[in-house]
Structure 1
């Protein structure tokens, strides 16, 4: 109770300071820049549960959400237009949703995506004007992050990030159950999403959230988000979210360090990187990002192997499944 009260008080003070700084430094007659919150993270990392929870902080995820699916019956909380643009970006660049290649940042800033950049800029401005505080979520956003950072810069929108973290082995277990993807490929997919562009958010307001922590201490975690993003919690919405939406049944896979399968099949370098992320989540510092960079540099040495694996994978296998599943999963 004391910890939650401390977070609440600190958050309100910080929010007051942030608002006043905006007012004091904004030129006369100039509107305060639009702010949008986006949830980023690998598939099967709790991004949907986090996105729903942001409604307790006054965010509106919009009225153009895609319908719930068999694998996510409580809803994806994904804007249909954001999803369409992300899928089109990946399609044009010949990147399947379950690719494992390391993709260069410049690829998302080229002329081939010029019209999509314009669409994204228009969408950000439109949603920010439509809602007092809008947020969006789609796991693909992290895979194409340079695209959205560029769109936000061009449209004059301030982005804030909530990063959903989950152990790569737990993600792989979930992907294996849902899509029949091997545990090795599932972990490599986690790396393809998480590693290349995550450091780009360091200069933006951001907060790292563990999916497991959200399920175990939802009120405290939402207080943490509120503190970092200078927002306020609606206690009635929080109560409804905890009692009616969240459930331990949402967590189908967890990682135990003593599990024999885990010790045999986890990829050690990715396990190390995840634990660096955990440290960043708890107390972010430049030293931890230096460790991250060293691990990523080591992982990049595997690029030729990753490209070879994807080259030998049949493109239709990567997009296999029923027409409905292709629509849902990309």
Structure 2
């Protein structure tokens, strides 16, 4: 069954164009935010259906997910990549005219059809420039909603639902959170703490409406409202904290301070002081990442040498097996090509053999 457009509120009109991008790592509340917007008049085109990890639905377009996955595979970038310089790998993709046209050709008719559209995918931040370019070509100035959730909650939730490792998950959270802030700086944006959304969604959607100039239908003040039945505070199953965590103290500290800085940004808005704090955190994370690579570099080289030697042994064994197989086949072909001896020759051999025995 094909994925269907997902909305529960009144349909947007074609001449009313509004586009919202919801950013944040998996398990940070992006589905809840995109869902709340879909219950307030925004449309999720061809949305992926829910499953046991997210029964209410993911509220993300399947086409966008497949598009992002394809580009990440082509560039060797992970959804929660830990490399602070990983954007360099994406530059060719972000400026590729064919890829830009592909995205625009998908997005433009959906904005034309639905008017108000919300796009969400945890991989989306890496392709921010592609989406902004496609939106502007479609005549829309996009808004960004960035979901915040403490890294200990996100890593625990990902470990439970996606079987991911906790240490790289926290490192990836720090890197992607800082990258998201940097890539959206100067754009119309709002940061939302996930527990604030589940505790009082009306005030959070009201803030988004006012700060980002969104038209929400029905408005959050209306009672009853479809979002009342959609947002369940019990969905927040994980609590913040590093108890029983294997994450090193250095990463815990960086994660805590990164979250605190972004939480302050969400409450107080942009300021020179917060911008300076975030730049300092980026520098500290880059140093930690570089130091970690330096510590394991010799092991990585040795592992690489061992893998190369193993590959050579495997190749030699395969070549030997192939050669043996060919030799056997050749002998069999030659044997099959020799004609069987005639009856007379067989009789003569037997007679000679018997004569020799009689002697």
Q: Number of residues paired by the alignment?
A: 281
- CA change 1:118–1:302 in 2 (3 A) is farther
SS in 2 for 1:267: helix
- Partners of 1:305 and 1:68 in 2: CA distance: 40
- Give the alignment of 1:193-204 within 5 angstroms: 193-204=176-187
Give the TM-score of the pair, scaled to structure 1. Answer: 0.75
- Name the structure, 1 or 2, with higher relative contact order (CA <8 Å, separation 6+): 1
1:99 aligns with 2:99: no
CA RMSD across the alignment: 3.0
- Give the alignment of 1:207-286 within 5 angstroms: 207-233=190-216, 234-235=218-219, 239-256=224-241, 267-284=252-269, 285-286=271-272
- Give the alignment of 1:25-44 within 5 angstroms: 34-44=17-27
Give the TM-score of the pair, scaled to structure 2. Answer: 0.70
The question of whether the paired residues in 1 share the 8 Å contact of 2:60 and 2:119 is answered with: yes
1:287 aligns with 2:273: yes
- Structure 2 gaps of 5+ residues are 1-14, 304-359
- Structure 1 gaps of 5+ residues are 1-31, 315-330
* 1:144 Cα offset (Å): 3.2
Match in the other structure for 2:311: none
Match in the other structure for 1:317: none
SS in 2 for 1:157: coil
Residue-by-residue CA offset, 1:43-93 (whole Å, 9 max, x unaligned): 11000000011134421223x111212211110011111111111110110
- CA change 1:103–1:80 in 2 (3 A) is farther
1:141 aligns with 2:127: no
- Partners of 1:109 and 1:244 in 2: CA distance: 43
SS in 2 for 1:70: coil
SS in 1 for 2:256: helix
- Give the alignment of 1:1-330 within 5 angstroms: 34-62=17-45, 64-110=46-92, 113-153=96-136, 155-233=138-216, 234-235=218-219, 239-256=224-241, 267-284=252-269, 285-305=271-291
Higher mean alpha-carbon deviation, 43-52 vs 261-270, is at 261-270
- CA change 1:279–1:88 in 2 (3 A) is same
